[in-house]
Amino acid sequence: MKAEKQRLDKLLVERGLAPSREKAQALIMAGQVVVGDHAADKAGQQVAVDAEIRIKGEVLPYVGRGGLKLRKALDEFAIDVAGLTALDVGASTGGFTDCLLQAGAARVFAVDVGYGQLAWKLRSDPRVVSLEKTNIRHLMPEQLGAVPDLAVIDASFISLAKVLPATVQLVRPGGRIIALIKPQFEVGRGEVGKGGIVRDPAAHEKAIAGVRQAADELGLTVAGLCDSPILGADGNKEFLILLHISDVPKEAEMDRCIFCKIISGEIPSKKVFEDEQLLVIEDITPQAPLHLLFLPKRHFADCLGMTAQDDALVGYVFRKAGEIARQKGVADSGFRLVQNNGTGAGQSVFHMHFHLLGGRGFTWPPG
């Protein structure tokens, strides 16, 4: 089958090699466009859509073609980033970061799992904090030292459903996220065609729906959606989605659970220990001579709702359990620290918690 063909000037715009048809035509007339091994001289020349095309000299307004995509989103969604602190997830060479800076962003945290990709002009810019060899899912808020107002995401080889949860935890309440939807990483392998291209419009809709669902599960509001102005580097059609983060604490958005009410003091309890992270109380239906509940003050349903930022909390719970066990005289005889995860494991209150059980004559399982 012969490859589909398209006008050269139009193809230049779609690939992000020129910002407009007029600019593309000017480049062609100036002899700066090379198709294969030959300089092109006609804007209307029909060229295979998968042809190798390059431009002599630098023509992009940003260090990477991704900047053209983000610029479209900023314009389409009427977002003013002047003076904002931003988080660029999947920064790569820095097209998104460059676009943000040129639009007036005060500071950009450029995060990427790779190394040595960020353009030198950005690496040396004092407004840019380069976080290379960094997986967004393992990034802790304290590593930033500031709370971003906005996050932009251009991630590859991973679904946005896996990137959004960690990103939301890093952006301020009321902040926004602009994410590039790449269908080839959102749909099943069977829907990705030759060359890694997703051509079926139904598959595009499926990819968008999947991201919408992931956003909804995180309590995000979809505030905008548009096509990317150019195709991806591999020729895939892409989309840009705008998500709003609620400025209402998650605890206030739900019917607050009994443990939330105990933590707030609305329901009385027999308190053993309390600080800014943790409340420890006596269980009202003890299953052992000593039965304490360790309640993290941040509400999440179970261990499946945890993120990397909770790693330190879990370690703290274990250390504090040892201290309290010694204080209560059960450390030498032995004790259990138990976390029931899900109804099948006996979890009845969906607020992450731990049971400390011990004491003379204590056996396992209790009862």
CB burial class (10 A; 0-12, 13-18, 19+) of residue 106?
middle
DSSP states along 189-231: GGG--GGG----HHHHHHHHHHHHHHHHHTT-EEEEEEE-SS-
What does 64-123 look like in DSSP terms, one character per residue? STHHHHHHHHHHHTT---TT-EEEEET-TT-HHHHHHHHTT-SEEEEE-SSSS-S-HHHH
CB proximity list for 251: less than 8 A, separation 6 or greater: 260, 299
- In this prediction, residue 58 carries a pLDDT of 55
The domains located in the chain, with CATH, are 5-55 (3.10.290.10), 66-247 (3.40.50.150), 252-358 (3.30.428.10)
DSSP-derived pairing of the beta strands 176-181 and 239-244: antiparallel
Query: Which one of 291, 299, 351, 353 is the catalytic residue?
Result: 353
Q: Write the DSSP assignment of 244-288 as a string of letters.
A: E--SS-HHHHS---HHHHHHHTSS---EEEE-SSEEEEE-SS-SS
Annotated active-site residue 353? The verdict is yes
CA distance 12 to 22: 11
Nearest to 67 by CA among 228, 244, 243: 228
Q: H or E stretch including 314?
A: helix 311-327
Contacts of 49 (CB under 8 A, 6+ apart): 3, 4, 5, 6, 11, 235
Overall pTM surpassing 0.85 (yes/no): no
Q: Please, what is the Cα angle at 149 between 143 and 154, to 5 degrees?
A: 75
Q: What is the CA radius of gyration of the chain?
A: 27
Coil, helix or strand at residue 144: helix
Give the pLDDT score at 180: 97
C-alpha–C-alpha distance, residues 107 and 97, integer Å: 9
Confidence at residue 344, expressed as pLDDT on a 0 to 100 scale: 66
pLDDT score, position 254: 46
Q: How many CB atoms lie within 10 A of CB 147?
A: 13
CA distance 166 to 308: 8
pLDDT on residue 142: 85
**Per-residue tens of pLDDT for the chain, all 367 residues:** 566 888 999 888 878 777 778 888 888 888 888 888 788 989 999 998 878 888 876 557 888 889 999 999 999 999 999 999 999 999 998 999 999 999 999 999 999 999 888 989 999 999 999 999 999 988 988 889 899 999 999 999 999 999 999 999 899 989 999 999 999 889 887 778 777 788 888 989 999 999 999 998 888 999 999 999 888 867 788 999 999 998 755 444 445 678 888 998 888 999 999 998 999 999 988 888 999 999 998 887 777 767 666 778 889 999 999 999 999 999 888 899 998 877 667 667 778 899 999 886 655 555 4
